Amino acid sequence: MKFGVFHTHGSSWTSFIFSSLMLCMWTSVESWSYYYSDKKMVWDEARDWCRENYTDMVAIQNKGEIRHLIKWLPKKDTYYWIGIRKINDTWTWVGTNKALTVEATNWARGEPNNQNKHLKGGAGEDCVEMYIQNRYAGRWNDERCTKLKYALCYTAACKNDSCHHGECVETINSHKCDCFTGFYGEKCEQVVKCNKEEVTTPDKGSVNCTHQYGDFSYDSSCQYSCEEGYQLNMSRPLTCTGTAKWSEQPPTCEPVQCQELSRPERRIHKVFRSPWPIQLPVHLGPVPCSPGAREWLLPAVEMMQT
Ligand SMILES: *[C@@H]1O[C@H](CO)[C@@H](O)[C@H](O)[C@H]1NC(C)=O
Ligand SMILES: *[C@@H]1O[C@H](CO)[C@@H](O)[C@H](O)[C@H]1NC(C)=O
Ligand SMILES: *[C@@H]1O[C@H](CO)[C@@H](O)[C@H](O)[C@H]1NC(C)=O
Ligand SMILES: *[C@@H]1O[C@H](CO)[C@@H](O)[C@H](O)[C@H]1NC(C)=O
Ligand SMILES: *[C@@H]1O[C@H](CO)[C@@H](O)[C@H](O)[C@H]1NC(C)=O
């Protein structure tokens, strides 16, 4: 088995061929690596060989990859199996299980022709080989899956720690990170921050913030509360969104409004007699209705002078 590794230095490609002895030295290189088998196999065996020993069968994604492969692959007695197969009558990338789009196809002229369809046994040409070192180099041909050809595999550059808060996407020379909402940076290691100054503390209130990814950053949440006798005019917490903006304006603490009293005098239910003059409470107070209770706290006693 031979394998090639290529990686970029600036924008120029360098390719190498190593003996399989060096294989383990290259497992941590963060760039796409290609491999081919020395043994010929039917398509299913070739796929298994790729998946067990590498990442998967080659899925051609761009012209640069094709250029690299046709330069690097040696001419052999057959061509190479690649990771496309007809599934339910649809040409499909087996690695992603996605249908081949018309733009992505690279068939050789006149292909796919399903040429062996009418042969004895009836098996159609449901697998795909890539031509090398002929006038259609790099182009595809549909073939019967039971034919023996060399497996063409790759090892992915994406490792599970390649992107901190994002999805790793393979590219020809390397990989890139598609960051999740709220994150950015080459490895999606940076978190969006919201303006801390905008989380103002209201008069008669307080605010308590909890942070998921960093102080006043994406997904941080600030919950407001008010002193007794006051209530928030908006009860939702402020949440730091992926666009670096708070989800809400800070609320204010408003005095609790009590309901109209219909017959306050009815609530006076105890009468005391006192031997000396006392002042009756003149002021029944605007505030003292208990928070949330929405009921006036009326004096429960009435003082009377005898
Ligand atoms: C993986 O590679 C080794 C060495 O070439 C081979 O013996 C083994 O059969 C391969 N795995 C599969 C599933 O073909
Ligand atoms: C093929 O199509 C049938 C019917 O649409 C579906 O049930 C089956 O799962 C498909 N097979 C594959 C391998 O996608
Ligand atoms: C990668 O994932 C494997 C299995 O899911 C885990 O054991 C390993 O620790 C992970 N490595 C890193 C660097 O996260
Ligand atoms: C802030 O909120 C968290 C979670 O809701 C709670 O555990 C913590 O005690 C609160 N801190 C203060 C100062 O209220
Ligand atoms: C709460 O009150 C403040 C000040 O009156 C006001 O600016 C804000 O828009 C109010 N918020 C809501 C949700 O009504």
* 207 alpha carbon, closest ligand: 4
Read off the pLDDT of each residue in 39-57 and give the average, rounded to a whole number: 95
**Distance from C-alpha of 33 to C-alpha of 130, rounded to nearest angstrom:** 17
* 208 alpha carbon, closest ligand: 4
- 87 ligand 2 Cβ < 6 A: yes
Terminal CA-CA length for the chain: 114
Q: Name the more confident of 294 and 248.
A: 248
pLDDT score of 50: 96
Rg (CA), the chain: 37
Highest mean pLDDT among 14-28, 154-168, 240-254: 240-254
| CA of residue 182 to ligand 2 center, whole Å | 38
pLDDT score of 27: 30
Q: Could you tell me which of 165, 213, 169 has the C-alpha nearest to residue 185?
A: 165
pLDDT score of 1: 39
Q: Which residue, chain included where needed, has tokens 């003996």? A: 19
Atom of ligand 1 nearest to the CA of 1: 5
- 113 ligand 4 Cβ < 6 A: no
Q: Work out the pLDDT band at 128, boundaries 50, 70, 90.
A: very high
Mutation probe of ligand 5 site: the residue of 200, 232, 234, 247 with most atoms within 8 A of C-beta: 234
| CA of residue 160 to ligand 3 center, whole Å | 6
**Distance from C-alpha of 53 to C-alpha of 152, rounded to nearest angstrom:** 12
Mean pLDDT over all residues of the chain?
78
Atom of ligand 5 nearest to the CA of 248: 13
pLDDT digits (tens, 9 = 90+) for 83-113: 999 999 999 999 888 899 888 889 999 999 8
Read off the pLDDT of each residue in 111-130 and give the average, rounded to a whole number: 77
How are beta strands 238-239 and 80-87 bridged, if at all? Answer: unpaired
Evaluate whether 192 touches 217 at the Cβ level (below 8 Å): yes
Q: Name the more confident of 167 and 193.
A: 193
- 234 ligand 5 Cβ < 6 A: yes
Domains in the chain (CATH in brackets) are 2-155 (3.10.100.10), 192-255 (2.10.70.10), 262-306 (no CATH)
**Distance from C-alpha of 306 to C-alpha of 292, rounded to nearest angstrom:** 38
pLDDT digits (tens, 9 = 90+) for 192-203: 999 999 999 999
pLDDT score of 186: 93
pLDDT digits (tens, 9 = 90+) for 229-271: 999 999 999 999 999 999 999 999 999 876 665 555 444 444 4
Read off the pLDDT of each residue in 149-172 and give the average, rounded to a whole number: 85
| CA of residue 153 to ligand 1 center, whole Å | 12
Mutation probe of ligand 5 site: the residue of 233, 254, 257 with most atoms within 8 A of C-beta: 233
Q: Name the more confident of 139 and 299.
A: 139
Highest mean pLDDT among 26-30, 174-178, 288-292: 174-178
Q: Could you tell me which of 131, 154, 122 has the C-alpha nearest to residue 54?
A: 154
pLDDT over threshold 60, residue 21: no
To which H or E segment does residue 64 belong? helix 63-72
Atom of ligand 3 nearest to the CA of 159: 1
- 8 ligand 4 Cβ < 6 A: no
| Residue length of the chain | 306
Mutation probe of ligand 5 site: the residue of 201, 249, 257 with most atoms within 8 A of C-beta: 249
Residue 44, SS3? helix
* 168 alpha carbon, closest ligand: 3
To which H or E segment does residue 273 belong? strand 270-274
Evaluate whether 31 touches 6 at the Cβ level (below 8 Å): yes
pLDDT score of 82: 96
Read off the pLDDT of each residue in 212-231 and give the average, rounded to a whole number: 96
pLDDT digits (tens, 9 = 90+) for 50-90: 999 998 999 887 788 888 888 889 999 999 999 999 999 99
Report which protein residue has its CA nearest ligand 5's atom 3: 252
CA 158 centroid distance within chain = 14
- 252 ligand 5 Cβ < 6 A: yes
Percent of the chain, pLDDT > 70?
70
Read off the pLDDT of each residue in 138-162 and give the average, rounded to a whole number: 90
**Distance from C-alpha of 6 to C-alpha of 174, rounded to nearest angstrom:** 9
Q: Name the more confident of 238 and 287.
A: 238
CA 23 centroid distance within chain = 32
pLDDT score of 172: 61
Q: Is the peptide bond before 112 cis (omega within 30 degrees of 0)?
A: yes
Q: Name the more confident of 173 and 297.
A: 173
pLDDT score of 305: 44
